Structures are given as C-alpha cells and as structure tokens.
Amino acid sequence: MGHAPDPPLAARVSKDRSMELQKAMIAGHFERLEQAPASGEPVVYTFVPGNLTELIRSFGALPLLPEINALQSGMRGLSRDYIAAAERAGHSEDVCTYVKCDIGMAMAGNIGPTGTRLPPPDLLLLSYTGCYTFMKWFELLREHYGCPTVFLQVPYQGDGRLAPEHRQYIADQIRSDLIPTLERITGRRYDEERLRHHLALAARAEDDLVAVLESAKHRPSPIDAYFGAVYYVGPIFSAFRGTEEGAEYYRELRREVAERLAAGQGPITPDGPLDDQKYRLVVEGPPNWTSFREFWRMFSQEGAVVVASTYTKVGGTYDFGFRHDAGDPLGTMADYCGGCYTNLNLPTRIDMLVSYIREYQADGFVINSVKSCNSFSAGQLMMLREVEKRTGIPGAFIESDLVDPRYFSAANIKNRLESYFQMLAARRDGGSP
C-alpha cells in the first residue's frame, strides 16, 4: 500500500506551494538514495503500514518503500512491462501486482520510477501488519539481495483492540531485535533523544494532516479526500514522517486548505475546480493507479467529491486520535504498528465507514475492490451489506486493480458509477428509502 504524487499529474491539477514542496522533497530523496552507495548512508527497505520511519531516521538511515515505487511505476505507465517480466520469471497471475511490479523493476536493473537508480537495501525491515504478502515479498527480496532482515511481529487486532501484552510484545521486539540490528548495520548507537525529536515532528505533521482531512466536513468540501488526499498522505506515509521537511509540508498544506475553505472553494480536479458538489461520497479500498486520472474524472465529471476514505488511513488512523508520542518512544511505535488499517478487523473497519458516512454527511459510499490486495478485498461484500444496513444508504461496488492495467475496465466501471449516481439523484429527488 502507499501513495506518493505523480509529478506530471500534480503539476496539472495544482500549482500550490505544498505540491512544489512535495515534488522537491521526493526528487531530493531519490537523489540521496541513488548516492547512498557512495555517501555511505544506510538504506532500509520497509512497507507503508507500520513503518518505523522515525526510528530509521534516528539512525541516520534512509527509508525506501517498495509499494510506493510500484504505485509510481503504475502511474507512469511502467508497471505493465515489469509485471509481464515477473510473470515470465514464474510469478503467478494471482500474486499482488505491487510485488510483481517491484520484482520486475529489480530484475530490470532497479531504476526507480523517477529514473534514478535505487540502491540495494542494507536492511529489510518488515513491520508485519496484517498482510501475509508482505512476508513473501521480503522473502523474495532477501533472496535477491542476500541482506539482513528484521521481521517485527505485530499481533492482529482480532477482537478489535491492541491488548497491553500485544503492545509490550511489539515494544520488546523493537528493543531487543530491531534496535541492535540497526546499531549493527548503521554503526551508530541508539539515541533516544534523537528519536523523540523525530516523533515530535511526526505528531506535528499528524495534527496538520487531520485538520486537512476534517476540512471535508464542510460544504463545499475544500478537498477530495480520496483522489486529492492520496497526494496529501504521500509524505507522511513514506519517507518524510518525523522530518523537518515533512512538518513544513503539512503546515503549508493546512494553510492552503484553510484558505480554500474560507473562500468557499472546492478541490482542484483534472477537470478544474469542483465547487458545485452534487454528491458527497465515502470510499473504501485503494485506487487504481494505472488509470488514476481517468478514474478520478469518472467522479469529478459527475460532480462527486469524496469526503472521507479508508485508503488514506493505511499509514495511520490519525483521525481517530492516534499521535506519535515523544514521551513514550517504543510504546508509541508499538501502538502505531498495531493500529494500522490493515491490522484492524472487519467490525472495526465497518465502524469506521459508518462513522465517516455519518460525520461527513455522505450521500453514498463506493467500494473499489482491487484484485491484488486480499488485505483490503476480503470481506468487502459483507462490509457493503452491513454498512448499508446500519446507515440506510446504498453503496456501490466496483472492481479494478492497483497497477495491472489488464484489470481496469474503464467502460464497466464508468457504467456502474453512472447508474449509481443516477440512483443517488433519484433517491434525493424522489425521497425513496
């Protein structure tokens, strides 16, 4: 999972300073990664949900997130060939396409989506948060790179909470396994004060992000909380949580959104500003990246704005109150890993959707079920029925994929969405139940 902006699209939809900042941050990070073998900066590959960016940064190491490379490759039209190469090498059609995209890219010389060479990892750090595929993915990378691996075991929230002993179990692993490994590969001592500094910066950015996401409670919403928000969460879900530049980005973004809110303006979409908002929607599931712009337009052309989404919570459910706590470094990292969206059980995910529909006064909700991702897709039909039952609002169910263009059927999805919007309009006009 994960997201980061696609600069060509970003440049078209907005010239906000925050967007420029983000582009510069990403370009700078990829350049540093390319230089890492020469500069000696250690590189840690890790995944978005449960990432321990602040800890990695406190050791002076650079995080690299394979899911983000995969989705950016998808947005730039590179994923089809990478997936084909991985399938020719024997990876089944059923395997998550993020994995095949990443493996195909590594086989082709590991040139990242922005055209710079990606360094090999000094460490593979898996914070296991509910997705079995993560484990298999890093096994493949370990075979490929032959580097050290840490597997942080995060108990699933089977009964809807992280029990104190689960929290302790995660914190103990960080103390006794992860920190000594990071000390060994970076040659630095663990520095708790430095870690606290990064955690405090993270909390500041998290506050600002939540203010941005909650602005969608207003009418018109000044943001699109799915198509627009995947850009907003890019820095915090990837390499920049807990950094000065990340904190600056979110301060600036919050300021810009507050300005749009005060001016009564909607978000900028590929079709221009969406001030006249006919439908307020909640969306569950990741977007499709290979036809991202086309997909977004299927909503924006109909006057539909997304006011809340679950996908923008895969890197942290901050809007439900979690903040990194500099006063309890290991405990807060345990809480963070345990509370990631992919680690939540289905009743909790249903509760989230219901609360979004109510609090954001949505007219409808859409589930985008992606073929690749069992973590997201398993149980979604049951979730649809349950959310309909509890809110009295009918939902729409569409199917696509993350980065495999073979599974994005534009005509089918468009038809389904158009019928859904007609149904929402008829309900509104005719007052049907």
Residues lying near ligand SF4 in the complex (CB under 6 A) are found at 1, 67, 96, 98, 131, 133-134, 342, 372-376, 402
Give dist(CA 323, CA 308) in Å, integer: 19
Q: Which residue has the tokens 């995080």?
A: 63
| Pick 93 or 259: Cβ nearer ligand SF4 | 93
Q: How far apart are CA 105 and CA 86, in angstroms?
A: 9
Helix, strand, or coil (residue 153): strand
How far apart, in Å, are the Cα atoms of 355 and each of 230, 262, 309, 406?
20, 25, 11, 34
Q: Is the Cβ of residue 3 or residue 57 nearer to ligand SF4 in the bound state?
A: 3
- CB-based contact 71:98 (threshold 8 Å): yes
The residue ranges of DSSP E strands in 313-380, in sequence order, are 364-370
Min dist. Cβ of residue 270 to ligand SF4 (A): 24
- State the nearest-atom distance from the C-beta of 96 to ligand SF4, in Å: 3
Rounded to a whole number of angstroms, the minimum distance from the CB of residue 287 to ligand SF4 is 12
Query: CB-wise, 156 or 190, nearer to ligand SF4?
Result: 156
Distance CA 178, CA 201 (A): 22
Take residue 78 and report the two structure tokens written for it. Answer: 């590179």
State the DSSP code for 320: G
Give min distance, CB of 202 to ligand SF4, in A: 22
User: Least separation, in Å, of the C-beta of 288 and ligand SF4?
Assistant: 12
229's tokens: 């928000």
Residue (134 or 232) nearer to ligand SF4, CB: 134
- Least Cβ distance, residue 144 to ligand SF4 (angstroms): 17
* Burial state string for 366-399 with b = 16 or more CB within 10 A and e = fewer than 16: bbbbbbbbebbbeebeebbebbeeebebbbbbbb
Q: Give the nearer residue to ligand SF4 in terms of CB position, either 134 or 250.
A: 134
In whole angstroms, the minimum distance from the beta carbon of 92 to ligand SF4 comes to 13
H or E stretch including 139? helix 132-145
- Name which of 277 and 342 has its Cβ closer to ligand SF4: 342
CB of 98 to ligand SF4, least distance (A): 5
The residue number whose beta carbon is nearest to ligand SF4 equals: 373
Q: Which is closer to ligand SF4, CB of 150 or CB of 373?
A: 373
Minimum CB distance to ligand SF4, residue 353 (Å): 18
Cis amide prior to 220 (ω within 30 degrees) = yes
Q: Are strands 268-269 and 272-273 parallel, antiparallel or unpaired?
A: antiparallel
Closest distance of CB 224 from ligand SF4, Å? 22
Nearer to ligand SF4, 134 or 279 (CB): 134
In one letter, which amino acid is 236? I
Query: Rounded to 5 degrees, what are φ and ψ at 370?
Result: -95, 140
Q: Which two tokens stand for residue 400?
A: 């696509």
Taking the least distance from each CB to ligand SF4, the nearer of 13 and 48 is 48
Choice between 70 and 384, CB closer to ligand SF4? 70
Residues 6+ apart with CB under 8 A from 393: 357, 362, 363, 364, 365, 387
The CB density around residue 38, as the number of other CB atoms within 10 Å, is: 8
**Least distance in Å: CB of 99 to ligand SF4?**
6
> In this structure, what token pair is assigned to residue 79?
């994923």
CA-to-CA separations, 146 to 105, 127, 141, 291, 337, in angstroms, rounded = 17, 19, 8, 35, 26
Between 64 and 305, name the residue whose CB sits nearer to ligand SF4: 64
Using CA atoms, how far apart are residues 366 and 284, in angstroms rounded to an integer? 6
Interhelix angle for 244-262 vs 192-214, to 10°? 20
